[in-house]
Structure 1
Amino acid sequence: MNVCVSTGLSAVSSHAGRQYHFFYEKVTFDEAQRYCREKYTDLATVDSMEVVTLLNSMGGYVDVLAWIGLYDDVDSWSWSLSDTSFYKPGETEFRRWESGAPQNTSWKRCTKISSATGYWTESECSTLLSAVCFDVSGLNVTYIYTQAMTWNEAQSYCRTNHKDLASVRNEAENQQIRDQVGTNYWIGLSRESWKWSDRSDSSFRHWSDNEPDTTMKTCAAANFYKSGKWADAGCGWELQFICYRQPVSMQVIKVRLQKSNSDVDLNDRAFLDELLVKMKKEMRDKGLDDNIQLSWKKQADGQVFHKEEEKRDEL
């Protein structure tokens, strides 16, 4: 992709120090995302009206639509109970969708089970349905059925009074629930629909009226003919785009290793690369920002590690 950096306007948002860059060459969402991640931080995250106002002030040359970093994650179905100890391998992926489901529409993000068929369908989360809560005691699972409420109300109720909204891990549990219900019931499977490219958890939304409006358009663009309000768009469309850069801070951390194998060369490139991968994984597992970049700082002789001299007790 050939994007001329000199064509980009930029401004600094006063609320967070982010720098936003407009690019006027038209590319697909994936191409824009790749470019922004290589040259900047990511596609633009718009998390407040202050940022909307800033982008509107910069959008004078934008041809109607420009990509921002919001996209519809159609494969993000997950259980309300996230405790991994409750599931055996493969059980979090168990599904009993009816034929043609899920359609992954933007407005249907919660799952109900039909007592008539035992199959699952997606529904608007604001629909009033009874729900299946559950309690867990050792290996025993007990199901509890509620009065009609929305999916979010059911989740809150089940978490307050029981373990959670029911996870269905296998066909036997699905049949057990079906045998006890007399209508459609909420279960704990839902989809976290629209997400930010940089993994921001901002819930700020600035959709135009009646947007998002279709199943097939799963990426978002700011419409500068409508004061920067958002519209869904086909990810393969070629649009202008907005990147952002987050100020970068650098910190040097001293690492001390204890050699258990005398044959290992601590300054070997393959060993150093493998160690960086392990350290990055540990940081990710502890919930740290996945955008953190790690690199080794070489000393004057070009080596990373040096053997420390053992301290001797003074006589």
Structure 2
Amino acid sequence: MFLSTGFCSYTRGTLRDYVLIQEQKTWDEAQAYCRKNHIDLATIQNNEDSANLQEAVYKMTKIAWIGLYNDINSWRWSYQDEKITFQSWNTGEPNNFNGHEECGLMYDSTWNDWSYSALFPFFCYNENGTNRFVFISYTKTWKEAQSYCRHYYTDLVIIRNQTENNQLTMMMQPHASAWIGLFRDVWKWSDATNVSTSSLSWMTGQPDMIRLQRPCGVSDSSGLISDQLCSNVLPFLCMDRRKFYV
């Protein structure tokens, strides 16, 4: 069922109701509007949601914000998903340079965010060993290093204070850089639900995130998703409460 009144188009589905707002707002402004007047920006968790969303956007001539965003502030430790209580970021870091920096790297005595596919030495955390910190001098990607540490030790290293940070700095000499256990979420939904990658239909070549230090998700009129700079002004899709019909 499709209704259109004024600046809004409204479609009613079996799982979620989506409302297309034809006002121009940044992603943050759109999120605030949706949370005030509806539930949140649109989320897509399954194929039925995707089909319902397409009903709301098929007459749209431009792209519109949805609730997808690249979470640049969700840093935590690989070990038990422990929250960060101590930080030693370098000046201006983390900066998500080129839009693909999701993992933590120790550079000299400070931390940088870096792309997980780069190759560096790494530190493992050995929870029950005499030496809790183990430096591995050969190089791996962050995910390979995580797998190695979890297989042979406990996990990638966790740093809880300046004393430990200083100890690791000394251990990795003469190497300048090494992976540590820091990582962050990449794509998340505005309503805090998990992103199911199987429910996302990306445009060809997307997401690219290049030069987008803070990318957010948009949908086109066919329901395909791409990323845009969150500060761009666009129409947007809000989500209302779930309704079920027999």
TM-score, with normalisation over the residues of structure 2? 0.79
Q: Is residue 8 from structure 1 mapped to residue 3 from structure 2 by the alignment? A: no
Q: Is residue 218 from structure 1 mapped to residue 215 from structure 2 by the alignment? A: yes
Is the contact made by 1:64 and 1:223 (CA closer than 8 Å) also made in structure 2? yes
Q: Which has the larger radius of gyration?
A: 1
Share of identical aligned residues, percent?
33
SS in 1 for 2:127: strand
Q: 1:134 to 1:213 in 2, by over 3 A?
A: same
Unaligned runs of 5+ in 2: none
Q: Is residue 24 from structure 1 mapped to residue 25 from structure 2 by the alignment? A: no
Over residues 68-114 of structure 1, what are the superposed CA-to-partner deviations in whole Å (9 max), with x where a residue is unaligned? 00122222222222476xx9xxxx34233333322123211111223
Higher strand share: 2
How far apart are the structure 1 equivalents of 2:196 and 2:180? Answer: 24
Aligned residue pairs: how many?
233
- 1:101-112 aligned at under 5 Å gives the runs 101-105=93-97, 106-112=99-105
In structure 1, the partner of 2:57 is 59
SS in 1 for 2:159: coil
How far apart are the structure 1 equivalents of 2:89 and 2:201? Answer: 32
Q: CA deviation at 1:216?
A: 4.0
Q: 1:180 to 1:236 in 2, by over 3 A?
A: closer
Q: Is residue 169 from structure 1 mapped to residue 160 from structure 2 by the alignment? A: yes
Is the contact made by 2:57 and 2:220 (CA closer than 8 Å) also made in structure 1? no
In structure 2, the partner of 1:145 is 135
Over residues 258-295 of structure 1, what are the superposed CA-to-partner deviations in whole Å (9 max), with x where a residue is unaligned? xxxxxxxxxxxxxxxxxxxxxxxxxxxxxxxxxxxxxx
Q: 1:189 to 1:83 in 2, by over 3 A?
A: closer
Q: 1:167 to 1:32 in 2, by over 3 A?
A: same
How far apart are the structure 2 equivalents of 1:186 and 1:198? Answer: 31
- 1:198-213 aligned at under 5 Å gives the runs 198-204=191-197, 205-208=200-203, 209-210=205-206, 211-213=208-210
Q: CA deviation at 1:12?
A: 4.0
TM-score, with normalisation over the residues of structure 1? 0.64
Is the contact made by 1:5 and 1:23 (CA closer than 8 Å) also made in structure 2? no
How far apart are the structure 1 equivalents of 2:89 and 2:181? Answer: 14
Q: Is residue 228 from structure 1 mapped to residue 228 from structure 2 by the alignment? A: no
- 1:1-315 aligned at under 5 Å gives the runs 7-14=7-14, 17-82=15-80, 92-105=84-97, 106-114=99-107, 117-137=108-128, 142-146=132-136, 147-181=138-172, 182-183=174-175, 184-204=177-197, 205-208=200-203, 209-210=205-206, 211-224=208-221, 227-247=222-242
How far apart are the structure 2 equivalents of 1:72 and 1:81? Answer: 22
Q: CA deviation at 1:20?
A: 1.7
SS in 1 for 2:183: strand
